[in-house]
């Protein structure tokens, strides 16, 4: 019974009881061990959305790898513009890679106290001369073996210019980790560019032969295969020839 002389009721015990009832048996108000972290994570809608988005990206990547379509898309016998087809050749990467290769070559020469404007110009002109000789040799070979293909001079410059990306990586790794890093990275890039050229030129050269009804084991088709292999094999050789003197 409440004291008649007491002006206010003592509610401290009730508050303590209410607070204690709201607290979890753990003692500090935090989730108990019975609520596992996995259930708490799965109950978060943001986490569920992130998991769904990650699963969607993985499915798209698997579909792209399984499809493995390296062919250039066409619209009314005309190749689709590069902005609409990731397999279409363009000169952006080769041009930027060539300029970057010249700059990296200057950096490598500078770290070895061998830099000079004349030597840097010789490096750039040498790389450009080899690229020009490659294009002329391929065009002459295509003419001699009478290959009917839609390969243009710009396409060849684009395909052959991709090797400068691997050359840049090899020289940079050589500057950072010495010759071991240079040979490891350049070797991997050489294998990559070899496979890339084989698969790309095969679609351009051998596919035209199949469309013309030329037998696979025919003499002319064998020449086309040898030409494809020769162009692909020349890329690693030139990558090494244009970079080995930059790493010491």
Give tens-digit pLDDT for 99-151.
999 999 999 999 999 999 999 999 999 999 999 999 999 999 988 888 777 78
Whether residue 12 is predicted with pLDDT greater than 80 in this model: the reply is no
Q: For 128, phi and psi rounded to 5 degrees?
A: -70, -35
Whether residue 27 is predicted with pLDDT greater than 80 in this model: the reply is no
Lowest-confidence range among 7-21, 130-144, 156-170? 7-21
Whether residue 197 is predicted with pLDDT greater than 50 in this model: the reply is yes
What is the residue whose two structure tokens read 């972290």? 37
pLDDT mean over 229-245: 95
Q: Would you say the C-alpha torsion 215, 221, 226, 231 has a positive or negative sign?
A: negative
| Calpha distance 172→179 (Å, rounded) | 11
Q: What is the 3-state secondary structure (H, E, C) of 212-236?
A: CCCCCCCHHHHHHHHHHHHHHHHHH
Higher-confidence residue: 203 or 182? Answer: 182
| Calpha distance 152→204 (Å, rounded) | 11
pLDDT mean over 205-220: 59
Whether residue 68 is predicted with pLDDT greater than 70 in this model: the reply is no
Lowest-confidence range among 2-16, 101-115, 138-152, 173-187? 2-16
| 64 contacts: CB under 8 Å, gap ≥ 6 | none
- Which H or E element spans position 179? helix 163-201
Lowest-confidence range among 89-103, 152-166, 187-201, 218-232? 218-232
């Amino acid at each position: 019974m409440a004291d008649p002389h007491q002006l206010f009721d003592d509610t401290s015990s009730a508050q303590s009881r209410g607070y204690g009832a709201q607290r979890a048996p753990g003692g500090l108000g935090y989730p108990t061990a019975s609520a596992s972290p996995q259930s708490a994570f799965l109950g978060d809608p943001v986490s569920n959305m992130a998991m769904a988005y990650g699963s969607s990206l993985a499915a798209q990547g698997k579909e792209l790898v399984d499809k493995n379509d390296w062919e250039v898309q066409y619209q009314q016998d005309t190749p689709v513009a590069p902005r609409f087809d990731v397999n279409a050749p363009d000169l952006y990467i080769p041009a930027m890679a060539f300029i970057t290769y010249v700059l990296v070559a200057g950096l490598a020469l500078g770290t070895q106290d061998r830099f000079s404007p004349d030597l840097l110009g010789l490096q750039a002109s040498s790389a450009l001369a080899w690229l020009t000789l490659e294009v002329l040799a391929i065009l002459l070979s295509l003419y001699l073996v009478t290959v009917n293909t839609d390969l243009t001079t710009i396409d060849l410059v684009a395909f052959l210019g991709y090797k400068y990306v691997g050359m840049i990586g090899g020289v940079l790794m050589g500057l950072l980790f010495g010759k071991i890093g240079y040979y490891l990275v350049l070797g991997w890039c050489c294998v990559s560019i070899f496979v890339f050229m084989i698969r790309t030129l095969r679609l351009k050269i051998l596919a035209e032969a199949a469309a013309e009804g030329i037998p696979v084991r025919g003499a002319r088709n064998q020449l086309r295969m040898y030409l494809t292999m020769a162009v692909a094999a020349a890329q690693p050789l030139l990558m090494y020839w244009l970079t080995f003197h930059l790493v010491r």
